[in-house]
A and B are shown apart, each in its own frame.
Chain A
Amino acid sequence: MDPGDVGLSTTLRANAPDPAHQDPARGGDPAAAGPGRAGPRTGARGRRGVPAWLGLVPFFLYITLFLLLPIGAVAVEAFRGTDPVTFATTWSTSSIAQVTQGAYRRAYLGSLELSLIAAVVAAVLGMALAVVIVNARRGRALRRLVLTASGVLANFGGVPLAFAFLATIGNAGVVTALLQNRFGLGLGGFSLYSMTGLGLVYLYFLIPLMVLTIVPALEALRPQWREAAENLGATGRQYWRHVGGPVLLPPVLGATMLLFASSFAAYATAKALVGSSVPLVTLQIANALSSNVVVGSENLGKALALGMVLLVGVVMVFYAWVQRRTQRWLS
C-alpha cells in the first residue's frame, strides 16, 4: 500500500496486537464465560427462516469479483504469451522468464532494497520517537502533538508529497536555491531524483506510520511488569531480554512489515518524483502497460505484478511464522 495511493492509515492504530491480553482479573473460571462473545443467540437463522449468511453474499461477491478475480487473472495470464507474428496467444513461461532477468531483475532488486532500507530506518526512528513520547510523563502536549501530526503525515504520500519535496530540494527547490545563492553550496552531491532521494521522501510518511502503529503496543507494556521484574531482582537489561523484548517483538515486526509493504507498493510518489529514471518494479509495470509498441508487453506487466504479489506473500508468510513462534502465549 502506498499511502499516496491508498491515502489513509489513521485506523492502523488498532493494528498492533495487545500483548496485555490477560483475562480481566475476575475470580472464577474463564471458560465459564463461554467462547468469547457468543452470548445467547437465535442461531444462524432469523425469525422468518432467512439464513443469516445470505446477508454476507454481497460482500463475498464483491470481494470475489473485484479483489480475487483480478489477482487470479494476473496469476493465470502471466503465463500467456502472444506470438509476435501470428498474434495468437498460447501458454508460455516466456514473460515469467523475462521478468527475472536484466532490467526487470534490477527493478525487483531496486524495489526490495529501497523498501527494506526505508522500512528499517523508519522503524528505528519511529520507534525511538514513540518511546520518547510514551515515556515523556509530563509531555502530554508533546505526545498529543506528535500523535495528531503522525495521523496526518502518515497520509501525506503520493503526488502532493512528491511535489512538496520537489519544491524544497528539487532542482528549482527553495532550499536548493537558498544554498546555492546565499552560501554558494550545492546539496553535497545529493540528488532528490535518485534512490537515496526517494528513500528520504518515503521516510516522510513511513516514520509517522511507525509511530501510529507502535505507540499502542508500547502503551500496552504494563508498568507492573517492569516493577515485578525489578522486585524479583532483575536488572533493566534482564527485563528487556526476558519480558519487554519478547512482548514487543511481534508488533514491531508487524509494523515494519507494513512499512515494507507500503514502500514496496509505492508508485505515485516515485512516478511524480523520478519518472522512470530509477529501477523500481511499480514504474516498470506502468511502462510495460503503457507501451503499445512491444507485443506481449501487457503480459510482461502481469508477470511483474505477479512477482510483486508473490514477494509480498512471502513476507506475509514469514511474518505469520514469526508471529506464531513469538506469540505462543497468546494462543
Chain B
Amino acid sequence: MLLVLGVYFIGPIVASVWFTVRRVGGGVTATYYSAIPGADGFADAFLRSLLLAVLTVVLVLLLMIPTVVLVELRLPRLRPTVEILTLLPLVLPPIALVVGVRSVLSWAPDYFYGTPLASAFYALQQPSLPWILVLVYGVLALPFAYRALDAGVRGVDLRTLTEAARGLGASWPRVLATVVVPVLRTSVLNAAFLTVALVMGEFTVANILGFTTFPTWIVQTGGEHPQLSVSVSILSLAITWALLLLISALDRRRPTEEAT
C-alpha cells in the first residue's frame, strides 16, 4: 500500500517537472523557466499577489494578536465565541463568501449612489491594488492564524509573564510589544507564513471578483502556453513548500526553546 501511495504522490510532481524540461526531439532544457520573468503579465500579477500577501499578514496580525491575548488573559468567557467565529471560514465554502461580498459591493451603485460610502466601495476595488482582496483573504486566513497564535499563547504561561511585567509598572501596550510579541515570536512567524502561502495560492475569490493575481494569471496563461503555466506552477509550489518546511522546522525547534 505504501508503494502505491508513494507512486501516486510522487508521480505527478516528477511528471510535471519532466513535462517542463524535456525538449522536443530529446534532451533537457530550461527555456520555460528562464522565460518566466519576461512572460506577459507575470511580473505584474506576481508582485500584486506579493503585496496582497504582505498587507494581509499585517491586517491579520494586527487584528488577531490583541484578540488572542485579550481572550486568554482577560475575557476567557468569550473564548468559545471567538473560536467558533474564527473557525467558521474553515468549513464555509469561499465561493459562497465571495458571492456575498459581491452582493455587498454591488450596493454601491444600487443603494449608495453618489454618497461617500460608494466612493469608499469603489476605492476598495482598484484593479492595481484591490484592498477588498486583502479584507476577504484576512477572513480566509483567520482559522490558520488563530490556531497558530492560540497554540503559542497556550504554550507559555502568558498570565504570569504579563502579571510580572504589569507588576513592574509596564503599561498594556508596552507589555504587548515587549513581552507578548517576543514570547509569541514563533507563532507569529508561523501565522504570517501560513497567510502568505494562502494568499499566493488563492484563486476563487480573485477569479470571481475579477482581479488578476498570480494564480488567476497562471490559469489564463495555461490555455496558450501549457509548459509555461506548469513551470510557473512548479515554481510557486516550490516557494510554498519552502515556506511550509520552514514552519515545520520552526515547530520542531519550539519545544526546546519554550520548554520551562
How far, in angstroms, from A157 to B201 measured CA to CA in the complex? 8
Interface residues on A, range: 35 or more
Chain A residue at minimum C-beta to C-beta distance from B68: A59
Ordered by A's residue number, 16 sampled pairs between the chains whose C-beta atoms are within 8 Å are A5-B201, A7-B240, A8-B198, A55-B66, A66-B138, A148-B245, A149-B9, A159-B218, A164-B12, A164-B16, A172-B226, A173-B19, A261-B91, A265-B94, A271-B207, A308-B93
Q: Which of A95-103, A219-227, A282-290, A322-330 contacts B (4 or more CB under 8 A)?
A: A282-290
Q: Is B51 an interface residue when CB atoms closer than 8 A count as contact?
A: no
Q: Is A202 part of the contact surface with B, judged by Cβ < 8 Å?
A: no
Residue of A nearest to B194 (CB): A8
Q: Closest Cβ of chain A: how far from B94's Cβ, in Å?
A: 5
Interfacial residues, chain B to chain A (CB-CB below 8 A): 1-2, 5, 8-9, 11-13, 15-16, 18-20, 22, 63-64, 66-67, 70-71, 74-76, 78, 82, 85, 88-104, 106, 135-136, 138-140, 143-144, 147-148, 151, 159, 172, 190, 194, 197-205, 207-208, 215, 218-219, 222, 226, 229-230, 233-234, 236-237, 240-241, 244-245, 247-248
Knowing A74-B96, A167-B16, A265-B94 touch, does A56 contact B102 (C-beta < 8 A)?
Answer: no
Whether the pair B226, A166 counts as a contact (CB closer than 8 A) is yes
* Residue pair A165, B138 in contact (C-beta under 8 Å): no
Q: Which of A22-30, A37-45, A183-191 is the interface stretch?
A: A37-45
State A68–B154 Cα separation when bound (angstroms): 28
* A77 contact set on B, CB distance < 8 A: 103
Closest to A62 in B: B63
Any chain B CB within 8 A of the CB of A109? no
Q: Is the CB of A5 within 8 A of B97?
A: no
* Overall SS of chain B's interface: helix
Contacting residue for B101 out of A66, A160, A161, CB 8 A: A66
Interface presence of A156 (CB below 8 A):
yes
* Alpha-carbon distance between A234 and B43 when the two chains are bound, in angstroms: 65
Question: Which A residues are closer than 8 A to B by beta carbons?
Answer: 1-2, 4-8, 10-12, 14-15, 36-39, 41-42, 44, 46, 52-53, 55-56, 58-59, 62-63, 66-67, 69-74, 77, 125, 128-129, 132, 148-149, 151-153, 155-161, 163-169, 172-175, 203-204, 207, 257-258, 261, 264-265, 267-268, 271-272, 282, 285-286, 289, 298, 301-302, 304-306, 308-309, 312, 316
A260 to chain B, nearest CB (A): 9
Q: Is the CB of A267 within 8 A of B203?
A: yes
Contact with B20, one of A39, A62, A167, A175 (Cβ below 8 angstroms): A167
Find out whether the CB atom of B70 lies under 8 angstroms from the CB atom of A70. Answer: no
Q: Is the CB of A158 within 8 A of B135?
A: no
Contacts of A69 in B (CB 8 A): 100, 104
Q: Are B99 and A289 in contact (CB under 8 A)?
A: yes
Picked from A14, A59, A157, A267, the residue with its CB within 8 Å of the CB of B147 is: A14
Q: Are A309 and B93 in contact (CB under 8 A)?
A: yes
Give Cα distance in the complex from A5 to B91, angstroms.
Answer: 12
Contact of B100 among A73, A207, A271 (CB under 8 A): A73
Closest to B238 in A: A160
Cα–Cα, bound, A298→B135 (Å) = 22
CB of B66 to closest CB in A, whole Å: 6
| B63 x A148 contact (CB < 8 A) | no
Determine the chain A residues whose CB is within 8 A of the CB of B140 once the complex forms: 5-6
The complex places the Cα of A301 from the Cα of B95 at a distance, in Å, of: 10
Contacts of A37 in B (CB 8 A): 76, 159
Set A56, A160, A164: member contacting B67, Cβ < 8 A: A56
A37 closest partner in B (C-beta): B76
Known: A11-B147, A70-B97, A163-B233. A128 touches B1 (CB 8 A): yes
* Inter-chain contact B222/A163, CB cutoff 8 Å: yes
Residues in B with CB closer than 8 Å to A306 are 96
The listed residue (B9, B78, B98) touching A56 by CB distance below 8 A is B78
Which residues of the partner chain B approach A4 to less than 8 Å between Cβ atoms?
201, 203
A268 near B104 (CB under 8 angstroms)? no
Which residues from B are CB-within-8-Å of A56? 67, 70-71, 75, 78, 82
- Complex interface: chain B residues within 8 A of A258 (CB): 90-91
